[in-house]
Structure 1
Amino acid sequence: MSGEFNLIETYFVGRQTQRCDVLLAAGDDCALVEAPSGYSIAISTDTLVSGTHFLANANPGWVAHKALASNISDLAAMGATPAWVSFALTMPEVDEEWLAPFCDRFFALADQYGIQLIGGDTTKGPLSLTLTVQGLVPKGEALRRDGAKEGDEIYVTGSLGDSQAGLDVILNPTNAGKPNARVLEQRHYLSSPRIKVGEALRGIASAAIDISDGVVSDLGHILKRSSVGAEVDVEKLPVSAQLVEFVASRESALQYALISGEEYELCFTVPEAKREAMWQALADVDCVITRIGQINNSGTLTLTKDGQAISWQLSGYDHFKSN
């Protein structure tokens, strides 16, 4: 890319205070970081592509938030504390009107979570963003997907379904006139990674995952890795008043809650014996926590309503599709 080094210097270098565990950041072939004794490093990489994960005309600040927040959410699901990020940017050409608000929002969110940009790359091509985030978790305390046991209770953070409704607004302009359309579109892009929840659940939760493909799919990953089944009471799914008004019925809102992806809320399981410890650990965390079901040994996921098993025809979550 023409002016690559000038672009890096202008938009990405010198914008943050250096963390004490960063020995060398931008300016060399590799970054050097130092993990404290007794900690493991959690690492996650995601790519977002224009036309697949966001539209080309999307607010660049919102795109920046979505890109970084989705990676931070992976750390939250492991109970890790964010530390560093590297970022590879591909653009058709240097677009300063796009880069300026993108970088402003990117660094604001990074600073909010104590994350330092330690390196990356820029190149010419179709617009895409690849981020690798790294965080720290005490050795042996990382939350995983394979620890759920029969009798464990299933919980989720926040409310579910808003992201899918926001996507409906983005992909179908006729939905823009529905109640709360703008609010829901914003929620699709501007999730709140549940780092404090993940940290509080260390040593308490038996399994955890972030909701990126819908709670049905993501809970299914826990069930498969843990070799268990589950029962979920759909009436207990947390849905916002804005979503219910947008889709015009509570039942439709509950269906949205089951399949809505890119929520970046957490789904986790907790043994009944640790229920009180969980509530105590989360007492100072500003996040709604809702119990939605229980783990069993059936090997399958059963949805219930009013005490009866139900079979809703649900289509899975998908990303933006290329034009």
Structure 2
Amino acid sequence: MALGEFELIARYFQRNAAPRNPAVALGIGDDCALLQATPGLANALPTDAQLAISTDMLVEGQHFFADVDPAALGHKALAVNLSDLAACGAQPLAFTLALALPDSNAARLNWIDAFTRGLFALADAHGCTLMGGDTTRGPLNICITALGAVPTAQGRSQALLRSGAKPGDDLWVSGTLGDARLALLALKAQHGDRSPGAPRWLQLPPEVLKLARTRLERPTPRVGLGLALRGIASACMDLSDGLVGDLQHILEASRCGARLLAPVLSDLLASHRLNSTALTPPERLSLALSGGDDYELLFTAPATRREAVVAAAGVADTPVTRIGQIEVQEGLRVVDAQGQRLAGRFASFDHFA
């Protein structure tokens, strides 16, 4: 038997017994949620704070396959928003969920049950409260808006922005790059989407696909690292559409250029370390530069702060790698071990390209 809209909300999304962030004065149940600016935010953070707000939408067929594990999808739906908060150096507070569902029959209710398990497991891990949203009937679509808090010091925001990179700054990235793209290509091939001239390695060994698929479907939002980098990083953003395209946003906002080290980048594909994927260095480099869905942090910091960056990464228990340098000359240059520029054009994902 199908559930009505309000029965569905009450059963799966209204969590009266769950812990609530002190900034959320009123959650699900009224026309609006209420955030308590004071003392709620003051209790959530030790100083005055600014609100950081991020919205992301996931659409079936565009962002995920129809047969994706719903628990993994619930995790990712929130993770992509928490990744944005991490890039800003914001502490997660709460989020809203707008969900379009094709139906509410028994099979769909089982799907919702798994989806919410994945969603709330990540939310609870970060003290992030679901405070409201909307449900409607339609093609499967998930839209989350997440709110976080960034402290101020002496009247100045401590938020990490894209616009602070300076020539001479080191360029860093957290975690690994390219595995999510590797999984996406392999899964597309499994679903029959194999274009002429497709790479020979699309049929991945099971252990490689499992690792890569986890990176695609259950990304880790680097919230702890974002918090630890406040006051250290000069610019920061998360990687959703690929390193080349996302780095351009920092370079344009900061009005500078960058040099990337190809040998370092080609070793950042975690799955190739299993020694069962015969990817060449150029293929690994292409995945690292042009892949998407990594949801790692890309950030810059003065060369004099290298020890501070490493210490922050240790506090956050997150690996970081220095992948290049910010330069005065505008544009992006990818160089080999000898510092020679590599030929070729690398592109990133664009929904409307």
Aligned to 1:100: 113
Judged with a 3 Å threshold, the aligned counterparts in structure 2 of structure 1 residues 2 and 97 are, in CA distance, closer, same or farther, namely closer
* 2:238 maps to 1:182: no
Judged with a 3 Å threshold, the aligned counterparts in structure 2 of structure 1 residues 213 and 151 are, in CA distance, closer, same or farther, namely same
* 2:109 maps to 1:85: no
Secondary structure of 1:246's aligned partner? coil
Provide TM-score, normalisation by structure 1: 0.94
Provide TM-score, normalisation by structure 2: 0.87
Secondary structure of 2:84's aligned partner? helix
**Any conservation in 2 of the 1:214–1:317 contact (CA below 8 Å)?**
yes
Deviation at 1:255, TM superposition (A): 1.4
**Any conservation in 1 of the 2:313–2:319 contact (CA below 8 Å)?**
no
1:205 to 217, 233, 237: 233
Amino acid at match of 2:301: V
Amino acid at match of 2:113: A
For the residues of structure 1 that align with 2:205 and 2:312, how far apart are their CA atoms?
Answer: 39
Amino acid at match of 2:19: T
For the residues of structure 2 that align with 1:192 and 1:143, how far apart are their CA atoms?
Answer: 19
Deviation at 1:19, TM superposition (A): 2.1
For the residues of structure 2 that align with 1:177 and 1:19, how far apart are their CA atoms?
Answer: 42
For the residues of structure 1 that align with 2:259 and 2:129, how far apart are their CA atoms?
Answer: 41
For the residues of structure 2 that align with 1:241 and 1:45, how far apart are their CA atoms?
Answer: 29
1:294 to 322, 325, 328: 325
Give 1:147-162 correspondences, 5 Å limit. Answer: 147-162=164-179
Deviation at 1:41, TM superposition (A): 0.5
**Any conservation in 1 of the 2:243–2:348 contact (CA below 8 Å)?**
no
Give 1:28-43 correspondences, 5 Å limit. Answer: 28-35=30-37, 36-37=41-42, 38-43=48-53
Aligned to 2:13: 12
Secondary structure of 2:263's aligned partner? helix
Deviation at 1:21, TM superposition (A): 1.9
For the residues of structure 1 that align with 2:145 and 2:268, how far apart are their CA atoms?
Answer: 31
Deviation at 1:242, TM superposition (A): 1.7
* 2:173 maps to 1:163: no
Amino acid at match of 2:126: Y
For the residues of structure 2 that align with 1:119 and 1:24, how far apart are their CA atoms?
Answer: 9
**Any conservation in 2 of the 1:54–1:320 contact (CA below 8 Å)?**
no
* 2:298 maps to 1:282: no
* 2:303 maps to 1:272: yes
Secondary structure of 2:277's aligned partner? helix
Secondary structure of 1:172's aligned partner? helix
Structure 1 stretches (4+) deviating beyond 6 angstroms? none
Secondary structure of 2:321's aligned partner? strand
**Any conservation in 2 of the 1:31–1:119 contact (CA below 8 Å)?**
yes
Judged with a 3 Å threshold, the aligned counterparts in structure 2 of structure 1 residues 309 and 190 are, in CA distance, closer, same or farther, namely same
Judged with a 3 Å threshold, the aligned counterparts in structure 2 of structure 1 residues 58 and 176 are, in CA distance, closer, same or farther, namely farther
Deviation at 1:12, TM superposition (A): 0.4
For the residues of structure 2 that align with 1:214 and 1:59, how far apart are their CA atoms?
Answer: 24
Aligned to 2:150: 137
Deviation at 1:320, TM superposition (A): 12
Judged with a 3 Å threshold, the aligned counterparts in structure 2 of structure 1 residues 260 and 107 are, in CA distance, closer, same or farther, namely same
Amino acid at match of 1:143: L
Secondary structure of 1:283's aligned partner? helix
Aligned to 1:239: 268
Aligned residues: 321
- In structure 2, the gaps of 5 or more residues are 43-47, 193-201
For the residues of structure 2 that align with 1:319 and 1:178, how far apart are their CA atoms?
Answer: 30
Deviation at 1:8, TM superposition (A): 0.2
Aligned to 2:45: none
* 2:310 maps to 1:304: no
- In structure 1, the gaps of 5 or more residues are none
Judged with a 3 Å threshold, the aligned counterparts in structure 2 of structure 1 residues 164 and 243 are, in CA distance, closer, same or farther, namely farther
Deviation at 1:287, TM superposition (A): 1.1
Per-residue displacement from partner, 1:252-297 (whole Å, max 9, x unpaired)? 1121011111100000000122222222333322111100111011
Deviation at 1:170, TM superposition (A): 1.6
For the residues of structure 1 that align with 2:296 and 2:163, how far apart are their CA atoms?
Answer: 19
For the residues of structure 2 that align with 1:262 and 1:167, how far apart are their CA atoms?
Answer: 9
Judged with a 3 Å threshold, the aligned counterparts in structure 2 of structure 1 residues 39 and 262 are, in CA distance, closer, same or farther, namely same
Identity across matched positions, percent: 42
Aligned to 2:24: 22
The 10-residue stretch of structure 1 (147-156 or 176-185) with the greater mean CA deviation from structure 2: 176-185
RMSD, aligned α-carbons:
1.9
Judged with a 3 Å threshold, the aligned counterparts in structure 2 of structure 1 residues 106 and 239 are, in CA distance, closer, same or farther, namely same
The 10-residue stretch of structure 1 (205-214 or 26-35) with the greater mean CA deviation from structure 2: 26-35
Amino acid at match of 1:221: H
Judged with a 3 Å threshold, the aligned counterparts in structure 2 of structure 1 residues 273 and 110 are, in CA distance, closer, same or farther, namely same
Per-residue displacement from partner, 1:16-64 (whole Å, max 9, x unpaired)? 2122221100111111112325100100001111111011121111111
